[in-house]
């Protein structure tokens, strides 16, 4: 609705999502602090907050306004109230279940994480009555959450849908998750974890080892994280952002490790005597984590792939001044923001990339982005000028946007159609996707 509203001023409309993302990120930091303080003590809590605050995954990933970010925030809040080590406190359990339920509404796959947490909690109960109480409470809140999810989705779709079933049908039964890219079964182990924790990963692993060997902190969060990772690995397509809800757990174990290495962890209460490690400098550890996280975060936030955002800011200014009347994006799907950044009611289109709905169509399925990649000049001619083509006709826009790597292949065809290059924006120094290499180039109709 925002693109059609004259009351929405573009600067405010584009700033608001960033402010919301900042609130979400701060809530994850705060919840991580209280989570760590509950299970590991004040010193570990301070280090957990530090890890969360400086983590490049938080500033470059969770700070993006994605559904995974909200899922992470609600999961972190649930961790802070969850009865770890089986220490059941009814009010806290209800609060944790409510936050977990909201996380599952936001992203139903979060149910895998909370299924693991629930099984571990039930298994730890000394009496069957307490286990039944947990199951009953989870069932009541779960049913209420499902009812809320159905109602919200009905308001959006104007028909009854059940997203977890659609997810299972598409990703598991039809196996169409691989349409978005097929991942190795161990992807989360050797890609996601190193990316998410980078220089903190050794501390995370050391913290888990200390929890298992010396019982300085509960092993349950690590068991839950491991179980959830295994379940998330059963789908053919994986991305490291799917594990964002595990970040607070990793930060807590990293904090436990750092507290021990700086010789400030409380040792007297541990069941097994801890060896006296060589004391590490607090300043050295803090500086190492800062340099290895803040530097990449600044580069990834301010330099890497900035062109895809800069070009939409440029188009927005042109649309407000009247020089940009319509826009077409000849790029791989979702390369740039769309109306979420433009906020001006002008016609825009991008190349389609809808996945097939049944597995039998996987090999023969047509999508425009692939067609353009294979036959760029012919594709451009057909969608703008050929009435006999089977390709879908598109509005011939005042401006076209594409990557430099493709601009070289279609420059002559665009000139024949009356387009000339009028702007280009630096995008990235490197890109693993050959379809997205080079600057972002804007072509406009020659006057």
pLDDT digits (tens, 9 = 90+) for 103-113: 999 998 999 99
Cα(404)–Cα(308) distance, rounded to whole angstroms? 12
Q: Please count the other Cβ atoms lying within 10 Å of the Cβ belonging to residue 97.
A: 25
Better-predicted residue by pLDDT, 236 or 145: 145
Give me the residues paired with residue 425 across strands: 440
What pLDDT digit, counting tens, does each position of 368-384 carry? 999 999 999 999 988 98
Tell me the DSSP string of 91-110: HHHHHHHHHHHHHHHH-TTH
The two three-digit tokens of residue 288, written as one number:
């190492």
Candidate from 28-32, 224-228, 404-408 with smallest mean pLDDT: 404-408
Is 170:259 a contact under the CB 8 Å cutoff?
no
Cα(402)–Cα(404) distance, rounded to whole angstroms? 7
Instruction: Quote the pTM value.
Output: 0.90
The answer, yes or no, to whether residue 71 has pLDDT greater than 90, is: yes
Better-predicted residue by pLDDT, 198 or 235: 198
Extended beta strands in 273-354, E state: 327-329, 348-350
At a CB cut-off of 8 Å and minimum separation 6, what does 309 contact?
Answer: 336, 337, 341
* Conformation bin of residue 74: beta by default, left when phi > 0, alpha when psi is -120 to 50: alpha
Better-predicted residue by pLDDT, 61 or 13: 61
Distances (CA, A) of 89 to 95, 122, 124, 126, 134: 10, 13, 14, 14, 11
Which residue, chain included where needed, has tokens 């970010």? 69
Q: Please count the other Cβ atoms lying within 10 Å of the Cβ belonging to residue 140.
A: 12
Is 252:35 a contact under the CB 8 Å cutoff?
yes
What pLDDT digit, counting tens, does each position of 18-29 carry? 888 999 999 999
The answer, yes or no, to whether residue 233 has pLDDT greater than 70, is: yes
The two three-digit tokens of residue 420, written as one number:
């000339």
What pLDDT digit, counting tens, does each position of 268-324 carry? 444 555 555 556 788 899 999 999 999 999 999 999 999 999 999 999 999 999 999
Q: How are strands ordered across the β-sheet holding 440-445?
A: 348-350, 327-329, 399-403, 440-445, 419-425
Give me the residues paired with residue 329 across strands: 350, 401
Distances (CA, A) of 355 to 230, 304, 391, 439: 26, 28, 17, 28
Output the pLDDT for position 167.
86
The answer, yes or no, to whether residue 150 has pLDDT greater than 80, is: yes
Residue 400 DSSP one-character state: E
Output the pLDDT for position 268.
42
Give the mean pLDDT of 239-245.
Answer: 94
Is 273:101 a contact under the CB 8 Å cutoff?
no
Q: How confident is the model at residue 9 (pLDDT cuts 50, 70, 90)?
A: low
Q: How confident is the model at residue 6 (pLDDT cuts 50, 70, 90)?
A: very low
Distances (CA, A) of 9 to 65, 254, 268: 19, 43, 59
């Amino acid at each position: 609705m925002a693109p059609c509203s004259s009351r929405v001023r573009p600067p405010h409309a584009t700033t608001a999502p960033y402010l919301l993302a900042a609130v979400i990120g701060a809530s994850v930091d705060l919840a991580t602090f209280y989570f760590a303080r509950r299970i590991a003590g004040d010193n570990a809590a301070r280090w957990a907050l530090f890890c969360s605050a400086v983590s490049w995954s938080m500033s470059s990933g969770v700070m993006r306004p994605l559904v995974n970010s909200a899922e992470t925030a609600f999961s972190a809040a649930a961790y802070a109230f969850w009865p770890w080590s089986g220490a059941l406190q009814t009010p806290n359990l209800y609060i944790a279940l409510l936050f977990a339920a909201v996380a599952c509404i936001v992203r139903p796959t979060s149910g895998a994480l909370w299924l693991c947490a629930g099984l571990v909690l039930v298994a730890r109960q000394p009496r069957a009555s307490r286990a039944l109480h947990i199951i009953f409470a989870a069932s009541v809140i779960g049913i209420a959450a499902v009812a809320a999810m159905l109602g919200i989705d009905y308001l959006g779709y104007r028909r009854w849908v059940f997203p977890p079933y659609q997810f299972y049908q598409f990703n598991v039964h039809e196996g169409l998750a691989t349409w978005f890219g097929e991942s190795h079964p161990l992807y989360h182990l050797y890609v996601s974890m190193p990316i998410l924790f980078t220089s903190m990963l050794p501390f995370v692993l050391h913290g888990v080892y200390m929890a298992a060997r010396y019982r300085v902190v509960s092993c349950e969060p690590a068991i839950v994280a491991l179980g959830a990772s295994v379940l998330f690995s059963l789908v053919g397509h994986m991305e490291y952002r799917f594990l964002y809800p595990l970040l607070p757990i990793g930060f807590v174990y990293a904090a436990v490790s750092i507290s021990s290495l700086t010789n400030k962890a409380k040792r007297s209460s541990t069941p097994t005597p801890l060896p006296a490690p060589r004391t590490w400098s607090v300043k050295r550890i803090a500086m190492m984590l800062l340099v290895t996280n803040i530097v990449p975060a600044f580069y990834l936030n301010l330099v890497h792939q900035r062109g895809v955002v800069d070009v939409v800011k440029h188009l927005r200014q042109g649309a407000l001044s009247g020089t940009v009347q319509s826009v077409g994006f000849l790029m791989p799907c979702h390369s740039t923001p769309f109306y979420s950044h433009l906020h001006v009611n002008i016609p825009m289109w991008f190349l389609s990339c809808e996945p097939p709905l049944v597995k039998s169509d996987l090999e023969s399925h047509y999508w425009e982005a692939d067609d353009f990649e294979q036959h760029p000049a012919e594709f451009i001619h057909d969608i703008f000028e050929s009435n006999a083509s089977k390709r879908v006709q598109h509005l011939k826009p005042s401006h076209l946007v594409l990557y430099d790597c493709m601009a070289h292949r279609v420059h002559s065809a665009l000139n024949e159609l009356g387009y000339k290059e009028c702007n280009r924006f630096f995008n990235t120094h490197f890109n693993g996707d050959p379809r997205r290499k080079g600057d972002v180039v804007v072509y406009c109709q020659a006057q």
